[in-house]
Amino acid sequence: MTKKPSLYFSASQVTLVRLVWMTVAAILALMIIFPLLWMTSISFKTAQDAFSPTLLPAAPTFGNFTYVITEVPFVRYMANSLFVSATVTVVALFFHSMAGYALARLRFPGRELIFLAIFSTLLVSLPVIIVPLFIIVRAMGMLNTYAGIIVPSVFNAFGIFLLRQYYLSLPREIEEAAVIDGAGYWRIYWSVILPLSKPILAALAILFFLANWNAFLWPLTVASDQNLWVVQVGIANFKSEYSAAWNYMMAASTIVAIPTLVLFLIFQRQIMDSIKTSGLK
């Protein structure tokens, strides 16, 4: 890349500003990375060593990892998390894209009202509705079931909103061409709209998967059966059962962070795109 000289500022000014930016960015990055480094460090330390102020463990050990994987049903928790996150992602995207398309394109009475109602739920956070939600799920007999963890997580106004906005931006003529070609609503959705939504669906899939992988409050509330615990609940449990087991907790956290890290490395571009399109953060 060739460097273009700035038209407005002198070279020294540009260098100075760039230096300040880099320093600030480096400090921020360090603030975020340091706890993760500390987590990784503790996961290799023994229980006695856990609170030593050195970043590098004096006697590094894989014992914590072995313990977490063999002595606690952590693999089961991982499988639960994977199953719940993947199911929520797939089911949610299917329904969200249909809802988004209907709200963007189909004409029916009350459409705007329904959209507003869905959109307004973005303003309400989970802790606010967790008690009524729990009562409903209990009434439906879904306590301590996968359905109980999955079904309430499927509804998410954010995905519907984002997809609706995306469908509004698609040229209507493509759908009209499909109408003239003889396609009905379902065929247009399935053969034209859905393939065109691939980029935004990929972005949403990553966001949904990560959000559900890291979900804690709802799985904790709805599933007391240890066989249904997800990783986040499992990790939290180290604290109550073994109050001083920070080394185990950190080892578990490190294991849990790996899939998200891998996801990030593979889908870095899509994640950045999704953050840009959704205007998050």
Partner 1 sequence: MARVDVDNVVKRYGAVQVVHGVSTAIEDGEFVILVGPSGCGKSTLLRMIAGLEHVSGGTISIDGEVVNDVAPKDRNIAMVFQNYALYPHMTVAQNMAFSLKLAGVPRQEMQAKVENAARTLGLETLLDRFPGQLSGGQRQRVAMGRAIVRDPEVFLFDEPLSNLDAKLRVQMRAEIKALHQRLKTTTIYVTHDQVEAMTMADRIVVMRDGIIEQVGTPLDLYDAPANLFVAGFLGSPTMNFIDGRIEGGHFLNDDGISIAASGGLPEGPVTAGIRPNLVGLADKGSLFEVLVVEPTGAETQLVLQAGKTQLVALVQGRVALQPGASVGITFDPSGLHLFDRRTSTRLPQMFS
DSSP character for 78? H
**Rounded to the nearest whole angstrom, what is the least distance from the CB of residue 173 to partner 1 in the complex?**
4
**Rounded to the nearest whole angstrom, what is the least distance from the CB of residue 277 to partner 1 in the complex?**
18
CA 208 to chain centre: 5
The one among 59, 180, 265, 280 contacting partner 1 by CB under 8 A: 180
Q: Residue with structure tokens 């050990």?
A: 61
**Rounded to the nearest whole angstrom, what is the least distance from the CB of residue 199 to partner 1 in the complex?**
11
**Rounded to the nearest whole angstrom, what is the least distance from the CB of residue 206 to partner 1 in the complex?**
21
**Rounded to the nearest whole angstrom, what is the least distance from the CB of residue 123 to partner 1 in the complex?**
33
Contact 262, 213 (CB under 8 A): no
CA 185 to CA 168: how far, in whole Å?
Answer: 16
Span of 40-48, 76-84, 172-180, 247-255 interacting with partner 1 by CB under 8 A? 172-180
The one among 171, 240, 279, 280 contacting partner 1 by CB under 8 A: 171
| Number of residues engaging partner 1 in binding (CB under 8 A) | 17
Interface characters, 114-143, with partner 1 (x: CB under 8 A): ------------------------------
CA 14 to CA 168: how far, in whole Å?
Answer: 42
CA 164 to CA 103: how far, in whole Å?
Answer: 6
User: What SS3 class is residue 141?
Assistant: coil
Q: Which among 275, 145, 159, 154 has a CA at the least distance from the CA of 212?
A: 154
**Rounded to the nearest whole angstrom, what is the least distance from the CB of residue 100 to partner 1 in the complex?**
18
Q: Rg of the chain's alpha carbons, rounded to an integer?
A: 24
Span of 53-61, 69-77, 174-182, 233-241 interacting with partner 1 by CB under 8 A? 174-182
7 vs 180, beta carbon nearer partner 1 = 180
Contact 253, 39 (CB under 8 A): yes
Q: Which among 71, 49, 65, 53 has a CA at the least distance from the CA of 249?
A: 65
Enumerate residues 181-210 that contact partner 1 by CB under 8 A. 181-183, 187, 191-192, 195-196, 198
Q: Residue with structure tokens 């998050």?
A: 280
Residues that bind partner 1 (CB under 8 A): 171, 173-174, 176-183, 187, 191-192, 195-196, 198
